[in-house]
Amino acid sequence: MKNSMNAEQLKNMFLSVAQKIVDSEDFLTEIDIKIGDGDHGIGMSVGFRNVLKELPKCQFTGAEDVFKMVGTILLDTMGGASGVLFGTMFISGIIKRPVSEEMKLSDFAEVFRKSLNALQQRGKAHIGDKTMIDAFEPAVIGLEESVCNGLSLVDGLNVAAIKAKEGMEYTKQVVAKFGRAKSYGEKAIGLQDAGATSVWIIFQEIADWSTGNLS
């Protein structure tokens, strides 16, 4: 079992993630239309369709460069709040980080922790606010705990996916503190957040790709 990913593997992994998001457009739209603006699925699909289009053209030597390119494409093509948030998810974690040939589980934990901190500084959201943070923070904690427990890369990424899903499910239990969903108050209970759902899809596909290609 391989315990690290090089740039080419990261590229292929994110192409798989992009395809999964594009395939989930209707699912994300259905979720968002209930308590949001109804455009989350379309926005995510637009961004990740461009990842599918542009990423194959790129040649990378450093692992961090793959993250930067994915985030830049999303930031440039999605527009709106989601473009900034999901662009930040991939870009902020690699700022000022030395370029490395491969990424281990500890690198994934460090990169996504920095991105999480940047998102929280930007948006001020916390666990329980019914946002993407409800799925992202548990995923990051799952990565960090997996590093401490000496898990393999594949097993650690699977833990992150499980934690992201638990966080997504948790959004059904709380009222929203941000966005259009905030106006629904208690009526939003029982409905999941679209942004948290997208985070779960991303981590689930990262885990699934890793299991299928690194095991």
Predicted local distance difference test score (pLDDT) of residue 187 = 81
How far is C-alpha 65 from the chain's CA centre?
Answer: 17
Note the pLDDT tens digit of each residue in 12-32: 999 999 999 999 999 999 999
Q: Is the pLDDT confidence value at 177 over 80?
A: yes
C-alpha to C-alpha distance for 187 and 168, rounded to whole angstroms: 17
The total number of structural domains that make up the chain: 1
Q: Give the Å distances, CA to CA, from 101 to 7, 57, 75, 144, 170.
A: 7, 19, 25, 21, 37
CATH of the domain at 206: 1.25.40.340
DSSP 8-state assignment for residue 180 = G
**Which of these, 171, 109, 162, 98, lies nearest to 134 by C-alpha position?**
171
Question: Percent of the chain scored above 90 by pLDDT?
Answer: 87
Answer whether 0.85 is exceeded by the pTM: yes
Report phi then psi at 150, rounded to 5.
Answer: 70, 25
Q: Which domain holds residue 209?
A: 4-214
- Lowest-confidence range among 9-13, 129-133, 168-172, 184-188? 184-188
Predicted local distance difference test score (pLDDT) of residue 185 = 82
Note the pLDDT tens digit of each residue in 85-96: 999 999 999 999
- Using 50, 70 and 90 to split pLDDT, how confident is the model at 179? confident
Q: How many CB atoms lie within 10 A of CB 39?
A: 17
Note the pLDDT tens digit of each residue in 97-150: 999 999 999 999 999 999 999 999 988 999 999 999 999 999 999 999 999 999
**Which of these, 83, 89, 47, lies nearest to 68 by C-alpha position?**
89
Q: Where are the beta strands (DSSP E) in 46-184?
A: 102-104
